[in-house]
Amino acid sequence: MSTCEEKLKEAYHISESLPLIIFKIDYFSPDSLIPIILYEIYHPITKEKLDLSHCKDIFIKMNIPINADESKLYKYDPNSEYYTDNCASYTSENGIDMLLSDRQKEY
């Protein structure tokens, strides 16, 4: 199995010894708990933007760091009872029980 880096270097005839240039953009939306992350890859010599469609068949795993309240990790898991169980209660900061549908909208 080849990596995206290998596919791009092969497609653009880039030496294996040269590193690709990665431009990463983090967009922090007030409506989201995690940033929206965009990547662009550039040729190390010509600075040409590389077409990532060469990597469309390759699974790319990304670890996205977040600032999470460790006492409320269940809020970051869409499969937790907090979002799936009608019987799981949650009291908001205002002391009001939140409906399951409201918790799902919040996510």
Span 63-99, pLDDT tens digits: 777 777 788 888 878 888 888 888 887 777 788 888 8
Look at residue 1 and tell me whether its pLDDT is greater than 70: no
* Residue 69 vs residues 66, 73, 83: alpha-carbon distances, Å: 10, 7, 17
Q: What is the pTM of this model?
A: 0.58
Average pLDDT over residues 2-20: 93
34: left (phi over 0), alpha (psi -120 to 50) or beta: beta
| Alpha-helical segments (H) within the chain | 4-11, 81-84, 100-106
State both tokens at 62. Answer: 């990304």
